[in-house]
């Protein structure tokens, strides 16, 4: 499987937390840890979940509470 390289800027606090997770053995390396984030995001935001969330926003968009 081919891979795409990306460049990202992370806040220092996030970088430190991520490196701590790697040092504690939760990931084999920084790359693995960062690659897992989009996977989890895409899995949790499937089309069905996204559509459900959007439909829940329709009444708010029409009537708003703020």
pLDDT string in tens for the chain (66-residue length): 788 888 889 999 999 999 999 999 999 999 888 888 888 888 877 777 667 767 666 666 666 665
Counting residues of the chain whose pLDDT is more than 70, the rounded percentage is: 76
pLDDT in tens, 4-21: 888 889 999 999 999 999
Counting residues of the chain whose pLDDT is more than 90, the rounded percentage is: 32
Whole-angstrom CA distances from 29 to 22, 25, 41, 56, 65 are 6, 9, 19, 38, 44
pTM here? 0.54
Instruction: Give pLDDT, residue 58.
Output: 62
H/E element, 60:
helix 47-63
């Amino acid at each position: 499987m081919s891979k795409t390289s990306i460049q990202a800027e992370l806040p220092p606090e996030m970088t430190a937390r991520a490196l701590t997770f790697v040092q504690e053995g939760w990931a084999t390396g920084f790359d693995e840890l960062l690659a897992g984030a989009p996977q989890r995001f895409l899995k949790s935001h499937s089309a069905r979940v996204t559509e459900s969330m959007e439909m829940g926003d329709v009444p708010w968009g029409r009537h708003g509470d703020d």
